[in-house]
Amino acid sequence: MEAGNLRERFEGELIGPEDAPYEEARAIFNSMIDRRPALIAQCETATDVAAALEHAREHELEVAIRSGGHSVTGAGLSEGGMVIDMRRMSAVNVDPAARTATVQGGATWSDFDRATQPHGLTSTGGRVSTTGVAGLTLGGGSGWLERRYGLACDNLESVTLVTADGRTVTASESDNAELFWGLHGGGSNFGVATELVFRLQPLPAATFALLLWPAEAGPEVGRRYRELFEAGAPDELGGAFAYITGPPEEFVPEHLQNELVSGVVLVYAGGEQEARDAIAPILELEPAGLQPTEMPYSEIQCAIDDPPGYRNYWSAEHLASLPDEALEIFCRRAEDMVVPSPSQHILFPWGGALGAQGARWPIPHRDASYVAHPLGLWEDPADDEQARAWARGLCEDLRPFSTGAVYLNFESASEDRLEAGFGRENLDRLAAVKAEYDPENVFHLHHNIKPLQPA
């Protein structure tokens, strides 16, 4: 589509199918999503965002919002529509005295962590450094430090949006409070986030490890891991029990490389000795791999980045508990993974600070003990059926132990799971917020909350 007079008032770059950068500009994390937008508006300012939205309204173009491009559902692309591409707006400004970070809507967690690291400050981010701050946070924001500091959205001070009709609105506890409530999990349903302000937490030291065993050791490792949290592990202890393909790295023994292995990812909000003490029963099992090591948190955040360009299918199941039967199912289902591939068969421990603010926000289901998260990444389309069946099968088998809730940022398909993500009462309340700020449902590609219709 011809950009017309939009070019005359647009500071960024407008890219159409005929332009050389188009293929690179439309590429997103999940290569299963292949959509061709009519126009990609790479915005430099909030004024650009408003102008692009006006153009989309005038030409009846479906609107997609792109920050990091990690949405597994492909919410950052629209077939024949307009992409509001925020990646040029990626500044992060830290006020160490106030312990706040002001973050533009196109920043990634790498941008965020590298800005806060020199000040010994942080906030819960994602687990992949190339993920967009805005998309992950507004959808909730699960990350390595969530047991210590809650979800990313729990640390928000304010969010500034450009709404579908071009208005600029700032939401906080004191201004547009109902919208601020909705932005704690409601995603990009209400507007384009151009600025987010976070409270920061002190993090003078952090420790990381990637501990590995042969796959057949998984049940014993899993039991030891479960015992840590049943015995009252400190909130500083984050990470996961997982099955992965052994990476071809120097710290991985050759016989484990490119094979299915069991492992523990350790992310500890503190020094190495504290971390070793916290996971002493795990270390007794004499793991291979990278042993507990202090390193900058910004480096931890990119230590196991998922590579782009793979086909992706994800799901998740929140578990009320992890009895032997559930753990056995989890371990057995790892055999169905596509190997070798970057897929991850993950069990995240919840608890700690996660539940502290749950009742306040639209993601209330934070009383789960664990989250089972099949994260499928593979290259060959011939593996599509196997990869999907693995993810779906794990969740189906674990459903008897489930709380019934779901964290939508982990979901490849969620149209029928919105109520499981928010609860009926919260979903109705979100629909009322949607009706006030986006009554025409312009922003509908991210786990769509439909506007409440008048009686």
Helix-, strand-, coil-residue percentages of the chain, each rounded to 5: 35, 25, 45
Please provide residue 289's backbone torsions phi and psi, each rounded to the nearest 5 degrees.
Answer: 95, -165
Helix (H) or strand (E) holding 13: strand 13-15
Do 317 and 400 have their domain in common? yes
- Kindly state whether residue 429 falls inside one of the protein's structural domains: no
- Residue 198 structural domain: 92-202
Q: In DSSP terms, which residues pair with 319 in a beta bridge? A: 370, 402
The b-or-e profile of 399-411 (16+ CB within 10 A means b, else e) is: eebbbebbbbbbb
Per-residue pLDDT band at 355 (split at 50, 70, 90):
confident
Q: In DSSP terms, which residues pair with 160 in a beta bridge? A: 170, 195
Instruction: List pLDDT tens digits, range 74-126.
Output: 999 999 999 999 999 999 999 999 999 999 999 999 999 999 999 999 999 98
- Kindly state whether residue 430 falls inside one of the protein's structural domains: no
Reading the block at residue 208, the tokens are 């990381």
> Of 384, 169, 339, 114, whose CA–CA distance to 243 is shortest?
339
Report the CATH number at residue 198.
3.30.465.10
Report the CATH number at residue 294.
3.40.462.20
Do 135 and 62 have their domain in common? no
Instruction: List pLDDT tens digits, range 305-318.
Output: 877 889 999 999 99
**Terminal Cα distance for the chain, rounded:** 39
Reading the block at residue 374, the tokens are 């099949």
Do 389 and 349 have their domain in common? yes
Quick one: average pLDDT of 450-455?
Answer: 83
Q: Tell me the DSSP string of 93-157.
A: EEETTTTEEEEETT-BHHHHHHHHGGGTEE----SSTTSBHHHHHHT----TTHHHH--GGGGEE
Torsion of CA 198, 435, 316, 207, to 10 degrees: 0
Do 216 and 263 have their domain in common? yes
Do 257 and 338 have their domain in common? yes
Instruction: List pLDDT tens digits, range 204-222.
Output: 999 999 999 999 999 999 9
Hey, what amino acid is at 268?
Answer: Y
Do 162 and 112 have their domain in common? yes
Do 172 and 151 have their domain in common? yes
C-alpha–C-alpha distance, residues 169 and 14, integer Å: 25
Instruction: List pLDDT tens digits, range 412-438.
Output: 765 668 888 999 999 999 999 999 999
- Kindly state whether residue 291 falls inside one of the protein's structural domains: yes
Do 242 and 368 have their domain in common? yes
Instruction: List pLDDT tens digits, range 249-276.
Output: 999 999 999 999 999 999 999 999 999 9
Q: Is the dihedral of CA 193, 29, 90, 102 positive or negative?
A: positive
pTM of the model: 0.95
Cβ(210)–Cβ(289) under 8 Å? yes
C-alpha–C-alpha distance, residues 386 and 259, integer Å: 17
Helices (H) and strands (E) in the chain, counts: 14, 19
CB neighbours of 283 closer than 8 A, spacing ≥ 6? 211, 276, 292
| Model pLDDT, residue 358 | 73
| Secondary structure (3-state) at 314 | strand
